Amino acid sequence: PRTRALLGAGADDPSSLADLLARIHPEDREAVRSALARLRAGGTDTYHLEYRLALPSGEERWIESQGRAEFGADGAPARAWGVMRDVTGRKAAEKALARAAALLERERERLALALRAGGLGVYEWRVGEEAIWWSEEAHALYGTDPAVAPTVASFEALVHPDDLDELRRRTQESLETGRPFHHEYRIRRPDGAVRWVLNHSRVARGPDGRPERITGVAADVTERRAAEQQAQLLM
């Protein structure tokens, strides 16, 4: 009775294989026929299918069907038995997840384009760990090799010695208060160039309320600093 209900068939409706195939969505019917052909040929003794039903009511329903074939003394398949269940809800969820994933991927591409256009580098540091994650734009900003993962020590080695203590103080203050971090400091790139960097970040806390990680963006503001200094000199 439950199988008939899944198939949208009444108690007196015929239940031949042809009747079952007639209820399967035309786009999925050939896959079911091929699976049955493999069973008949003895190529397999199990089957596992997912297909749509096009019910007389106009409803479209997804069915998962799996089972096993039994073979006679002559080696020919004698019968097949199995179970089926309605997986329409699961299929709808998978479709929604696929749409969401596609949307997230498009948003990620837009964000990456905006970051590149603005010359912004993204980074993340888990509090207490030595390793830091930098985006490709961050590596370009600091003049480092993207194949080499940065660390707290390697990052601080890039910061100008005159600015390092203040940077550490502001970072610690942000961790303690949870307030966003906004600071400008100089770096010495591996090629010897001195650049000004604007760093803006936020602190994320774990379930226990303790600071868990710092995520932020960094931008090269050397030209802006030079213009400000020139304006001050002229004044």
Tell me the pLDDT of the chain (235 aa) as tens digits.
888 888 888 888 888 888 888 889 999 999 988 888 888 887 678 888 999 998 888 888 999 999 888 888 877 778 888 899 999 988 888 888 888 777 777 776 776 666 665 678 889 999 989 999 998 889 999 999 999 999 999 999 999 999 999 999 999 999 999 888 889 999 999 999 999 999 999 999 988 888 999 999 998 889 888 888 888 888 8
pLDDT at position 174: 92
pLDDT at position 203: 92
Q: Which residues contact 188 (CB under 8 A, 6 or more apart)?
A: 158, 159, 160, 194
Structure tokens at 95: 């479709």
Amino acid at 102: A
Tell me the C-alpha distance between 235 and 229, whole Å.
10
Cross-strand pairs, 219 = 120, 198
With contact defined as beta carbons under 8 Å apart, do 186 and 194 qualify? yes
Strand order in the sheet with 181-188: 132-134, 120-126, 211-220, 194-205, 181-188
Tell me the C-alpha distance between 180 and 165, whole Å.
18
Amino acid at 186: R
Cross-strand pairs, 215 = 124, 202
pLDDT at position 62: 93
What residue ranges in 107-152 does DSSP mark as E strands? 120-126, 132-134
